[in-house]
Structure 1
Amino acid sequence: MAPFGEIVWVLGIVAWYVIRYPFERRARRVRVVGDYRSRSEKIALAMALFGMAVWPALYLLTGIPRGADYQPRMWAVVVGGALFAFGLWVFRRSHKDLGRNWSVTLEIRDKHKLVSQGLYRLIRHPMYASFLLIALAQAFLLPNWVAGMAGLVGFLVLFFMRVDVEERMMLDTFGDDYRAYCARTKRIIPYVY
């Protein structure tokens, strides 16, 4: 049964990249006018990549750490697959909603606008919400305590090292409009947080 979860995880990661690639390519053509990148942001991005892609891939290729394996369950694969699918939908939708404002790093683009429609009408950071869903999916899909949970650790490091800086960047750029937007939305879970 373990291969089913692993196959779903691999297909999900491939789908994630297929979704991201055209937006990344398009973003390179839009001039950056504000840059909030830092060493800590690079560390946070590296930790997220390591936890959500590198460590699980090493586990799939080598089986290490075998001592952390547990018996996979079909219900966990179904839950993990559903979470991954929903996470990919949120991921794609958040890219579409951002349009030319999207960036991998903390940057303000030329003619940047405050996006508050689509998923952004409910939460300020749907892309982080998608990462949380995908990290939860990984925990269900990979029957290994270390590889499965590495995604959540990577997500938490990324989120808590980066979200305050990102919100400060938006406040510096959009001022009172962003304050009003924050007052009517939550960060990553609608109506909760």
Structure 2
Amino acid sequence: MNRLIPPVLFLMLLIPLALLWAYHPEDLAMRYDRQMPWDIPLILGAAILIWARVHFRSRQAEIHTFKTPRHLVTDGPFRFSRNPMYLGFLLLLVAAAFFVNVWCAVLAPAIFLAAAAFWYIPHEEAALRATLGEDYEAYSRRVRRWI
């Protein structure tokens, strides 16, 4: 699983949501009159993800999850979250699940959240601690993991 980078996992979870939206039977639909508010997490997720990605690249930081970090980025969106890109992906999956409006669609963001919280982020944090030491420790004490 060391080669399953977060954008690939995101796409692997988004495709079933698209298929659910296209082909879901009515008996899976949520039982209420209103659609879930999917537009807010879509806009927030896209904005956070793009801001973090552009900012990270402008600092020439290593973006690949499983490569050795080059340096610590602590400004821009990284002032508010140590993991804004994961947060952006998660919000996009929440938006897609709300748009599909089928109860089982919530599995996609739940799977991404679990993978990020229990595998990707701990791996990255260990690499940052090993590479950057006290600089990363001080940053992690100042800034929360998600928001």
Would you call these one fold, judging by a TM-score over 0.5?
Answer: yes
Report what 1:19 is aligned to.
Answer: none
Tell me, yes or no, if the aligned pair for 2:17 and 2:97 is still in contact at 8 Å.
no
C-alpha separation in 2, matches of 1:126 and 1:44: 12
Deviations 1:70-93 (A, max 9, x none): 3575552xx210111011000001
Structure 1 residues 86-105: aligned runs within 5 Å: 86-99=44-57, 100-105=60-65
- 1:135 deviates by 2.5
C-alpha separation in 1, matches of 2:65 and 2:129: 17
C-alpha separation in 2, matches of 1:85 and 1:108: 31
C-alpha RMSD of the superposition? 2.4
C-alpha separation in 1, matches of 2:8 and 2:56: 23
- Return closer, same or farther for 1:180/1:83 CA change in 2, 3 Å cut-off: same
- 1:41 deviates by 5.7
Q: What is the identity, as a one-letter code, of the residue corresponding to 1:156? A: L
Report what 2:107 is aligned to.
Answer: 150
| Ranges in structure 1 where 5+ consecutive residues have no aligned partner | 1-38
Q: What is the identity, as a one-letter code, of the residue corresponding to 1:84? A: L
Structure 1 residues 16-95: aligned runs within 5 Å: 39=1, 42=4, 47-51=9-13, 53-63=14-24, 66-71=26-31, 73-74=33-34, 76=36, 79-95=37-53
- 1:137 deviates by 1.6
- Percent identity of paired positions between Structure 1 and Structure 2: 25
C-alpha separation in 1, matches of 2:79 and 2:6: 26
- 1:171 deviates by 0.9
TM-score of the two chains, using structure 1 as the length reference = 0.65
- 1:168 deviates by 0.4
C-alpha separation in 2, matches of 1:108 and 1:40: 13
| Ranges in structure 2 where 5+ consecutive residues have no aligned partner | none
